Amino acid sequence: MENIKISLEKWEQEKVKKSISRFPERKEKFKFDTEEEIKRLYTPLDAQIDYEKDLGYPGQFPYTRGVQPTMYRGKFWTMRMYAGFATAEESNQRYKYLIDQGSMGLSVAFDLPTQMGYDSDDSIAEGEVGKVGVAIDSLADMEILFDGIPLDKVSTSMTINAPASVLLAMYIAVAKKQGVSPDKLRGTIQNDILKEYIARGTYIFPVKPSMRLITDIFDFCSKNVPKWNTISISGYHIREAGANAVEEVAFTLADGIAYVNAALDAGLNVDDFAPRLSFFFNAHNNLFEEVAKFRAARRIWANIMKNRFKAQNPKSCQLKFHTQTAGCTLTAQQPENNIVRVAIQTLAAVLGGTQSLHTNSKDEALALPTEKSVMVALRTQQIVANESGVADTVDPLAGSYYVEGLTNQIEKEALEIINKIDELGGAPMAIDKGYIQQEIMDSAYKYQREIEENERIIVGVNKFKIEEESPKGLLRVDPEVGERQKEKVKNLKKSRDNVRVKQTLEALKNACKSEENVMPYILESVESYATLGEICEVMRDIFGEYKQTVMI
């Protein structure tokens, strides 16, 4: 290493100064989203690779190079397109279209009332039914949503958090009606309430009962739905809210630590639930920073699980993650440019070793995506998989001085933040004190200021602008969707066995008051055709509602 240092110094003295005098460097700031400056050249001194400690082989601790030995040589990542709008009938047709086009898994987007635990006929849902996702009020809607889609043949991800227990119960109930036992089901519920308090806002219950619901799901699924990923600990929304790459890793893994602690406090064994933990990250435009981010996250989590939590099962130490391309990078200006952005972000996710991927559509800065734009987004993944060659070998960027140096730097900075959160008492306390929210706000302000001052170029927004006509052909949700859903709820309540509904809701209420696992009672309520709103109202009455801390 000393010889390398001497030769580099000699190269610097003899070549670089002369070259720079002829070809001066550009004047932009060469920085990542953090304050770390990007060097002109990366060398073995920057990489500082300890092959045994930091790299190893794919499928081996600390999993820097991937969680499977063969990665995409064995099979491609799951191409999972995020979809859902209007009614269950319309979303069902979109799912069947995506499957026909080669999508390997489904990812359900729910409307805001569903995410907040309200039925479509609730006054608070007015104007929001079916707008940003599909409206699901009861098991009857869920049956329609997956009609003709065999649940033992697909993997389904559901972006649902506060009422995740209810939607999971609905999914299990639909599968049972199809003749599919719970132990055959594969998929994920997001079920990450901490990031809702931090960045997204679709929370219902206070922290303590919310964490209880999550650990009840861990316990129930470990015994009954063993192939199901019981949580998707999400950095995606943290990044969308304005966090930088390092903060995305640090805050997400700090949340992960909090969930593991909660499960251990509930009496669960770490190796019984940890293998089914999964993560959800954002893929931004800085290709190499994103690749390094994914690699650093895997290594940090492996060491946390092994050293802090003493996990014995190797699968407990594997950070498995889904990626979505960055919605916040999509521009309403020149939306065709978003296809290129998504392609770069797709490469970052694949080169970083993702297990599944959703690619955003070009028109999502303007409206819900059309079928045509969704197909282009899916084709982007398929082209990268089948034509680019990046999936032909495992972790093709390993050993790059630049990538290894960045991986080390992100690991170091993220661990510093995690240590700070530990000092504050863990993620829930850091959230309660407003620390995480404030850090995200500061980063978001810095990012936006750089755009406005032209320190950060966004093509089509602050440079290379053109005159454009108003976009045409956008997807619009029928305003009558809300009225149709209200009618469905009304008819359901007339036709179901209301005596049974009342009995199951009363049993759920008693379970919430006790220390029993609530999942069996939620499942019974769902199967009696109690609505989402009715079930969540029972839990609101017992658990209360979360009130956001106001920072002054």
CATH of the domain at 377: 3.20.20.240
Q: Quick check: is 319 in a domain?
A: yes
d(CA 181, CA 76): 27
Domain annotation covers residue 144: no
Measured N-to-C along each axis, helices 245-265 and 287-303 cross at an angle, to the nearest 10 degrees, of 20
Is 78 inside any structural domain?
yes
Burial of residue 422 (number of CB atoms within 10 Å: 0-12, 13-18, 19+): middle
Number of continuous H segments (helices) and E segments (strands) in the chain: 22, 9
At residue 389, what is the residue type?
G
Question: Is residue 190 within 8 Å of residue 158, measured between CB atoms?
Answer: yes
Q: Does 162 map to a domain?
A: no
Tell me the residue type at 450.
Answer: E
Residue 213 lies in a domain: yes
Task: Write out the residue range of the structural domain in which residue 341 sits.
Answer: 52-83+190-452
d(CA 54, CA 65): 9
Residue 382, domain member (yes or no): yes
Q: Is the pTM of this model over 0.95?
A: no
Q: Residue 370: inside a domain, yes or no?
A: yes
pLDDT digit string (tens) for the chain, length 552 residues: 566 565 655 655 555 555 555 556 665 666 667 667 788 788 888 888 787 777 889 999 999 999 999 999 999 999 998 888 889 999 999 999 999 999 888 999 999 999 999 999 999 999 999 999 999 999 999 999 999 999 999 999 999 999 999 999 999 999 999 999 999 999 999 999 999 999 999 999 999 999 999 999 999 999 999 999 999 999 999 999 999 999 999 999 999 999 999 999 999 999 999 999 999 999 999 999 999 999 999 999 999 999 999 999 999 999 999 999 999 999 999 999 999 999 999 999 999 999 999 999 999 999 889 999 999 999 999 999 999 999 999 999 999 999 999 999 999 999 999 999 999 999 999 999 999 999 999 999 999 999 999 999 999 999 999 999 888 878 777 788 899 999 999 999 999 999 999 999 999 999 999 999 999 999 999 999 999 999 999 999 999 999 876 554
Domain count, the chain: 1
- Cα–Cα distance between 390 and 385 in angstroms, integer? 7
- Residue 39 is given by DSSP the state P
- 403 lies in a domain? yes
- Interacting residues of 74 by C-beta distance below 8 A, sequence separation 6+: 68
**CA separation for the pair 354, 350 (Å, rounded):** 6
Q: How far is CA 152 from CA 144, 166, 184, in A?
A: 17, 20, 6
Q: Is the dihedral of CA 58, 249, 189, 481 positive or negative?
A: negative
- Give the CB-side neighbour count of residue 540, counting CA atoms within 13 A: 16
